[in-house]
Amino acid sequence: MSLLEKSEQIQKEFERDKVAAIASAKPEEVENLRVAYLGRKGKLTGVMEELRHVSKEERPAAGKAVNLVRQHIEAGIEDLKTQARSWELAAIINRQPLDVTLPVAEQEHTGSIHPVSLMRQHLIKIFRTLGFTVVDGPEIDFDFFNFSALNIPDHHPARDMQDTFYVDGAEKLLLRTQTSNIQIHAMMNEKPPLRVIAPGRVFRCDSDMTHTPMFHQIEGFVVDENITFAHLKGTIDTFLKAIFGSTLKTRLRPSFFPFVEPGAEFDVECGVCKGKGCRTCKDTGWIEIGGCGMIHPNVFEAVGYDSSRYSGFAFGFGIDRIAMNRFALPDLRQLFEGDYEFLGHFPMHNA
């Protein structure tokens, strides 16, 4: 059979198959038809590949005939696609309407509150009983509020430790690395006495079993006359016991933060291994929760407070880390993977 005869035969077969596609009125049938004739292994594609074996004298006429068949098939496919879309639309319009007033069958699976949200609610409730006010602030902020006013100058190595996300094209604008920026906003807008907590999302370039690039943090601080480190220790002890119970061990250990002096970190006993040592706690038996200390006089000066009259303490910790230990999770990243089977195990009520 010559190439011209093959082209004519393929066109007749297409017309026959086109009728079947029209009868089915399904978009997938139209796509199958296109692939069958114009795909990499399609009928017409095979004929077009045979053109290179035709003699130079016969190639122009054969090429023209094959090209006309190709144009005919392409036009037919486009017509079928248009009809298929119309059929789909008509099917949607003519579908039996949904009666939203009908009773709904009881769902086998119900939603639940995310563990981070559960822990945030629980923490806010605890701190409100201690007289703290909840304050919000910007997630994208200026360097002054996130670093400079917190006694972290441009050259300070703590800036490198934070692994900050800076906003391109904006001078000194960044994604906050801590909710401590809200401390500065609050103190610049209000005068002592202050007792504030600031929950929110923070951002750092960090990701492993116990760190994520975006996590949730609570900053808390108290400013008044005659505030001491004993008040700080009592506050931390109170809220940790309210979360984990009086049997779980906690500890404070000396540490350095530019915005407090003296400073400390507070840990809780690992909820996975109960202090025995495991992969989650890096075999220490402890999970670091956060940092704390007495507010540095330079911070008071940055916001216009009299450091000779007022004193205060501040603390900050990750809500995700608290939830991880409270619910004995081996990997912090479980909280952010959106696994329904995992998240469905948490209750609807407060933690």
Least confident of 10-19, 227-236, 259-268: 10-19
Are 330 and 272 spatial neighbours (Cβ–Cβ below 8 Å)?
yes
Residue 158 has pLDDT above 80, yes or no: no
Find the mean pLDDT for residues 102-119: 76
The SS3 call for residue 64 is helix
If residue 279 lies in a helix (H) or strand (E), which one and from where to where? none
Which pLDDT belongs to residue 351?
A: 46
Which pLDDT belongs to residue 308?
A: 94
Find the mean pLDDT for residues 160-169: 73
The SS3 call for residue 61 is helix
When comparing pLDDT for 351 and 111, which is higher?
111
Q: Global pTM?
A: 0.62
Which pLDDT belongs to residue 334?
A: 81
**Domains of the chain from N-terminus onward:** 3-93 (no CATH), 115-343 (3.30.930.10)
Helices (H), the chain: 3-24, 27-38, 43-49, 59-93, 115-129, 143-146, 158-162, 180-189, 229-244, 297-303, 319-326, 340-343
Report the C-alpha gap between 79 and 77 in whole angstroms.
Answer: 5
Helices 59-93 and 27-38 sit at what angle, rounded to 10 degrees? Answer: 170
Are 299 and 259 spatial neighbours (Cβ–Cβ below 8 Å)?
yes
The average confidence (pLDDT) of the chain is 84
